[in-house]
Amino acid sequence: MGSGAMRPVAVDLFAGAGGLSLGFEQAGFDVVAAVEYDPIHAMVHRFNFPECEVLCRDVRSLSAADVLSAAQKGMRRLRRPSNAPPKIDVLIGGPSCQGFSSIGRRDEEDDRNDLLLEFARLVREIKPRAFVLENVPGLLEPRFSDFRKKVFAKLKRAGYQLGGTEGWVDANQFGVAQVRKRVVIVGILDGSPSPLTSSWKEKLPTVSNALEGLPEIESYDELLRLDWVEIEQRDRLRRLSATSSYARILSGVDKQDYFGRPRTSNINLLTNSLRTVHGPESIRRFAATAQGTEEPVSRLFRLALDLPARTLRAGTGSERGAHTSPRPIHPIIPRVITVREAARIHGYPDWFRLAATNWHGHRQVGNSVPPPLARAAGEAVLRALGLKPRKLRAAQNLGDAQWLNIRPFVAARLSNAVQVELPAKRIRKNVSSDAVAS
């Protein structure tokens, strides 16, 4: 891991499953610590970033010293030198945004809006060289003007120049097969921020590009009870025959040309693909719904192959009623899409795994920042700071797959452990001799 010693350091607040973390890693940062209050999300983050120190805490209970201590532990795990307190190059985060969201009622009094103030507090106390704050376009609405100015003023008084405060960006323009409008605010300490620029040079990706090469899950009865399966030879050939660079990179057929840390994974394992069983009447209605239109009874939208998807939504957590996220209808098959298909649309590589249940998995995708958009934000910070990261060659193993399928109370008990060991269960091995770095 010594090759990572010269990479800049990032800490992810409000980390979720890790969309921002992955994008910043791909840009060239070592994400050494992450904060996530939901234990299910925290365990998924730990699985995909096993050398990152994860704090399963509410940020409102954290001091700067807590965050810096976690960062120091993560730096030791990466075998890179760390001072006390460690130097943080960028603090990143997407505070919960439902109070500003266009879905449902925008609420100036939503207590989750105050998480923006908590983000600003930690930026001011930790004083990283830069920060990146992601949120929904509703944040910029006139009704939130006083609150927004309050947050921005605190950051400016701490010495940060801000960029991205005047409008939103669309993730589709950054190589994501989804229309997803987001505000991305970059702050640079005693310097000028660089604008986000897209490195995507091809035609903007569509649902067809995202789903290309994925197996038809109806061929695997195992997926009625498990969220993963070893694919058969015909589907291995299907994956290899994909023509879009979007699908080929996410599937691991083509190697990434950015700075992410390679992962050792089984490329012949299809994950996050638990089948949803629909009744005959639902199947009939789904089949009768044209691409790009809404099914009138369920009000689910059917994806169009030649267009990017609509914004994937997250639903709500148990503290807000546990409402299921509305899952789009597959463009060809009369069923809702799987978590893996949603992850492809969102820009996650196939090695990246979400929680095994559909409810948690879809919620994690819908709540996260698409990694390609996050990568663009990371690259903007690198330009502003004049940093050039090093590529990494040594592959990193993923965590224990049992972490992805545990009950919330078990996750809560284990999520703060430095070394998590679960009791052995009768579960099929999920790696094989086909495991490769991707």
Question: Cα(438)–Cα(227) distance, rounded to whole angstroms?
Answer: 21
Contact yes or no for 157/190 (Cβ under 8 A)? no
Backbone φ and ψ for 430, nearest 5 degrees, come out as -110, 15
Question: Cα(272)–Cα(406) distance, rounded to whole angstroms?
Answer: 15
- β-bridge partners, 132: 92, 186
Backbone φ and ψ for 416, nearest 5 degrees, come out as -95, 0
Residues 131, 134, 140: CA angle, nearest 5 degrees? 115
Residue 138 is encoded by which pair of tokens? 């509703």
Collect all residues with Cβ–Cβ distance below 8 Å to 166 and sequence separation of at least 6. 140
CA distances from 97 to 27, 114, 185, 292 (A): 25, 10, 14, 27
Q: Is 97 in the active site?
A: yes
Contact yes or no for 78/32 (Cβ under 8 A)? yes
**Annotated active-site residue in 15, 97, 123, 204:** 97
Question: Cα(368)–Cα(14) distance, rounded to whole angstroms?
Answer: 10
Collect all residues with Cβ–Cβ distance below 8 Å to 256 and sequence separation of at least 6. 26, 249, 349
Collect all residues with Cβ–Cβ distance below 8 Å to 292 and sequence separation of at least 6. 302, 303, 304, 307
Q: What are the start-end ranges of the H helices in 49-113?
A: 64-77
Q: Other C-beta atoms within 10 Å of 152: how many?
A: 18
Q: Write out the catalytic residue numbers.
A: 97
